[in-house]
Structure 1
């Protein structure tokens, strides 16, 4: 396959380098590519070994060497697609303006051109503030090893820019729901389904009761949703199940609703003392609420986009979480959705729009040069 533009060859290499979160080797190959990308630029590269079996973390620094709060840029290089996807179900290809491939939209396209913008501004020496670019390996599973680092760097930053993909038609993100994750385990009493049915206590049956209670917590008017998407229980069709387990997904718009619904889920009780019910978990990402400071940051980005030649629109509150949730919750003005335009995140129809790369790369560069 040949590119329509020589400048995209490096991006094609990125897409061919498959990097699902738990494939440490693949993620670290992506980190190698970033290190190589920065070799000829005045950028300090710090590489931190990953923990818990996950890939490494990169912290890139450039710009003025002062103690003032800087501008933090964040990208993740892990994807959800298993190794082999590019050879089978989602081949790298160009169809018109669409560039297809695993991870191109979420979020290798945005990470790649943001790094190019970062490098360009570093070379020119035109950054308005110290610049820090955090490249992470674990966002797709909730950033378990990098959250402390994100929050530490966030507290020392004046602004945070996140290269998650743009929304419908290139919209930017200025608010996201918070995300909660819980695990529920029901233990009953096993018995033969034929000869000892009355002695059994069906854990799947009790789990179904709990699922109904959890799903009933959904309140669209408040922007609260609860979802049980997987259930696992039982050992044989003719055995009363002793165990049943299921995870719960929670989305909320406000910190208060996060606390209230978390308390409701953790406070679930069994309908019968013969069942043991265990619930663990909590809020995984705090809500990212649009503040006056973030609105002002968006207005600045919108004016820069107009100078470049495109209209920047803010999306309504987004349901999915990102690392921007962490910085926004700390009160740091945060712009998200600065990545490539396209569609199909986490699907086998994932693509990015080639035409969105140059203008959005220029927008990132101008933000780094003008955020004072």
Structure 2
């Protein structure tokens, strides 16, 4: 659904007090991803705030009980992408209250990524026209975006650029590359037997899981041949479990594996290698589950947009913009993965995402909003 283009005869200037008021409104509305009622209430608050700034209410899209919001103005050309869910459990405000002290704002989800939403709404409100702009705010990014991926890719497929309002990297750097992610579970099937009376009649799934865990190191080394030391594929066993009782040969074992890849070709090579793993313990059987989740956001996808952002920053007196390649993924991985040029990390400047020291540098809110507004206006035209 496309909205009529709202008339904006007099564009407001950016006001830091107004931005902080909106930020407080979002932060004190807790939105833990796993609490769908809280996410629905958060969507109401975000929708109301966006309506005040953009002039029209959003389209509400509910998938699997999760509420996403979309504003579209004319034929989409530029996608602004964010999320309103957070990793913070309900009640976190009691231990991490909203505060602004010595230029630092704090509160659950403030850095990742409620400040990005506020900066986005205020930036768009300064534009003379929203023609060609699409805003998508999802409600499940922190839990994998299963309910929003198709929507994200559908919209991005129509656009010439995606700007992701996730928080910046260290020092305010824009995120010009993100590793892709894959998740696997190695399920080993063995055979139970009494570990004291006749262990030889069993097939020890735990021993086989140990062999496979060690084999993952070799797999990663082979994938990384020739790769830069600071931008390598990682294949990391995370959760390992086996057995039922202390006197029984384990009949089953499970190994969860987290994979981060810098390129699509590396992701494909890991997938082939994972499915080619062989068992060592005689009689053991291996079931490989899972696979690629998010494709990588490769530097080639963001290069042109970053150069444009750099020129704008210089014109606005913001100085040199820095860039960063990061191991964490975002919904920008999806937009880049389908071929839409994508620039990430345009949101808050601060740090401590998902941690007790999550915070925002207040003085950076207005400059970042100005940068975003100029980027959107240039590309949308």
Query: Same fold by TM-score, threshold 0.5 exceeded?
Result: yes
From 361, 369, 372, the equivalent of 2:369 is 361
SS at match of 2:38: helix
Distance 2:261 2:364 in 1: 31
Match of 1:264? 273
Match of 1:141? 143
Structure 1 232/333 Cα, relative in aligned 2: closer, same or farther at 3 Å?
A: same
Equivalence map 1:31-70=2 (5 Å) = 31-40=43-52, 41-51=54-64, 53=65, 55-62=66-73, 65=74, 67=75, 69-70=76-77
Q: 1:176 Cα shift?
A: 1.3
TM-score, length-scaled by structure 2:
0.87
Q: 1:235 Cα shift?
A: 2.1
Match of 1:318? 326
Match of 2:81? 74
The answer (yes or no) to whether the contact 1:174–1:314 under 8 Å persists in 2 is: no
Match of 1:153? 155
Q: 1:6 Cα shift?
A: 5.4
Match of 1:340? 348
Equivalence map 1:109-128=2 (5 Å) = 109-121=115-127, 124-125=128-129, 127=130
Structure 1 356/186 Cα, relative in aligned 2: closer, same or farther at 3 Å?
A: same
What do residues 149-183 of structure 1 show as CA deviations (whole Å, max 9, x unaligned)? 11111111011000111011100011111111111
What do residues 62-102 of structure 1 show as CA deviations (whole Å, max 9, x unaligned)? 3xx3x4x51100001122222222223x3333342222222
The answer (yes or no) to whether the contact 2:313–2:371 under 8 Å persists in 1 is: yes
Match of 2:179? 177
**Deviating runs (4+, > 6 A) in structure 1?**
none
The answer (yes or no) to whether the contact 1:43–1:61 under 8 Å persists in 2 is: no
Structure 1 188/312 Cα, relative in aligned 2: closer, same or farther at 3 Å?
A: farther
Q: 1:193 Cα shift?
A: 2.7
Matched, 1:231 2:243: no
Match of 1:8? 20
The answer (yes or no) to whether the contact 2:27–2:108 under 8 Å persists in 1 is: yes
Distance 1:267 1:339 in 2: 41
Aligned-residue CA RMSD (Å): 2.0
Match of 1:97? 103
Q: Which moved more, 1:212-221 or 1:178-187?
A: 212-221
Tell me, which stretches of 5 or more residues in structure 1 are unaligned?
Answer: none
From 6, 9, 28, the equivalent of 2:40 is 28
Tell me, which stretches of 5 or more residues in structure 2 are unaligned?
Answer: 1-15
The answer (yes or no) to whether the contact 1:77–1:137 under 8 Å persists in 2 is: yes
